[in-house]
Structure 1
Amino acid sequence: MHWILLRGLTREQAHWGDFPELLRSAFPEHQFHTVDLPGTGTLFRDDSPGSIPEIRRRVCDQVKHIPRPFSLLALSMGGMVALDWAQHAAPGELQHLVLINSSSGFSPFWKRMRPMAWPNLVRLLARRELFHRERDILRLTSNREVPLALSKSWYSIQRQRPVSYRTAVSQLRAAARYRPQERRPMPDALLLASKGDRIVHWGCSAELEQRWCWTLRLHPDAGHDLPLDEPDWVVRQIAAWLPQ
């Protein structure tokens, strides 16, 4: 089975860190492909579209070489792209869907972006000193102690493939406008959320669970970047959910 991994707002494939390798070790019969959203990572020179459907179309263009069916594992805004993908996929194109700390227009704006996160986010986007900005992004998205080496790693990523202020604003606009279709795209999907998430309220995942009878698993205290804070827990939830 082939999996496509999508990150969130202003983040790229390198921000997964060791998580893809952990997945490959846990599921050696599967193949995992990290793919960047336009305007980030290997595509940092590209413009970012102002809507989730257009971002999804651009991502689909990148993966035409991957055999179908494949599965999607997506974090935060990447989860919006994955959900939109699932609702527009051709028959037999997608097999499994895992959404992590994501949100949608089904939830009120104050759950999609917690009020306490807005001033921090605006300050971070305006900050020009890269090392401190990346360190503070980590402190906002993680509920664990942030090692200096990790801050340096994220600083290096931004130095090599800088995400522009224009891309960040465009992605924020796309996320704020996104509302899925009413129809359930798949019989089941795995929703992973953190009660300790200080950016997106876990109730956004609970809304999808209640609306479409999907599977929800909650972590009690991890941050928004759940694969960073609790990667082993994420892998265990996927292993328990996947058909044997």
Structure 2
Amino acid sequence: MHWILLRGLTREHAHWGRFPDQLRAAFPQDQFHLVDLPGTGIHYCDDSPNTIAGIRQKVVEQIRHIPRPFSVLALSMGGMVAMDWAQHAEHGELQHLVLINSSFGFSPFWRRMQPAAWPRILRLLARRELFHRERDILRLTSNRELPLGLCKAWYSIQRQRPVTYRNALNQLLAASRYKPQPKAPMADALLLASKGDRIVHWLCSAELERRWCWTLKLHPDAGHDLPMDEPEWLIRQIRNWLPGR
């Protein structure tokens, strides 16, 4: 099985940290492909579209060489891209969908991004001192103790492949306007959310469970970056959900 991994707002493949290796160890028969959104990672020099549909089209262009069907694991805004992809995919193109701490237009805006997060995120996007900005992003997205080495690693990522302020705003605009089509794109998907998420309220995932009867699993205290805070828990939920694993 070929998995596509998608990150969120202004984040890239390197921000997954050790999580892809942990996935490969847990599912050695599968292949995991880390795909960057336009304007981030290896595509940091490209312009990001300001719609989720435009971002999705750029993502799909990147993976045409990978054999179908795909399964998608996506975090935060990456989940919106994955949802839009699922709703526009050809029959049989997507096999499994795992959405982590994502939000959609079915929920009110104050749940899609909690009110206390808005001013912090806007200040962070505009902040020019890179080390403190990346450290503060980690403090917002994680509920665990942050080693200095992790802050330095994220600083190094931004130094090597900087996300422009314009691309950050385009991604933020795309995320804020996105609303899925009303019909579920598949019979089931796995929704993973954190009750301790200080950016996206876990009720956004619960709303999808209510509408489409998808599978929802909640972590009691992890932060928005669930793969960083609780990778073992996350992998266990995926293993229990996948048929025959």
Partner of 1:9: 9
Partner of 1:171: 171
What is the CA distance between 1:74 and its match in structure 2? 0.0
Partner of 1:24: 24
Give the letter for the 2:7 counterpart: R
**CA–CA distance in 2 between the matches of 1:93 and 1:150?**
36
Give the share of equivalent positions with the same residue, in percent.
Answer: 76
SS at match of 2:71: strand
**CA–CA distance in 2 between the matches of 1:197 and 1:20?**
22
What is the CA distance between 1:228 and its match in structure 2? 0.3
- Uncovered stretches (5+) of structure 1, i.e. residues with no partner: none
Partner of 1:81: 81
Q: Structure 2 length normalisation: TM-score?
A: 0.99
Q: Any runs of at least 4 consecutive aligned residues in structure 1 with deviations exceeding 4 A, and if so which?
A: none
Partner of 1:241: 241
Give the letter for the 1:42 counterpart: I
Q: How does 1:112-127 map to 2 (within 5 A)?
A: 112-127=112-127
**CA–CA distance in 2 between the matches of 1:122 and 1:166?**
12
**CA–CA distance in 2 between the matches of 1:15 and 1:89?**
27
What is the CA distance between 1:70 and its match in structure 2? 1.0
Q: How does 1:210-221 map to 2 (within 5 A)?
A: 210-221=210-221
What RMSD, in angstroms, separates the aligned Cα atoms of the two structures? 0.4
Partner of 1:56: 56
Give the letter for the 1:98 counterpart: V
SS at match of 2:72: strand
**CA–CA distance in 1 between the matches of 2:118 and 2:72?**
28
Give the letter for the 1:151 counterpart: C
Give the letter for the 1:86 counterpart: A
Partner of 1:34: 34
- Uncovered stretches (5+) of structure 2, i.e. residues with no partner: none
**CA–CA distance in 2 between the matches of 1:33 and 1:222?**
25
SS at match of 2:144: coil
**CA–CA distance in 2 between the matches of 1:189 and 1:73?**
10
Q: Structure 1 length normalisation: TM-score?
A: 1.00
Residues 146-189 of structure 1 deviation map (CA, whole Å, 9 limit, x = unaligned): 11000000000000000000011000000011000001100000
**CA–CA distance in 2 between the matches of 1:169 and 1:240?**
37
Residues 38-70 of structure 1 deviation map (CA, whole Å, 9 limit, x = unaligned): 000000000000100110000000000010001
Give the letter for the 1:76 counterpart: S
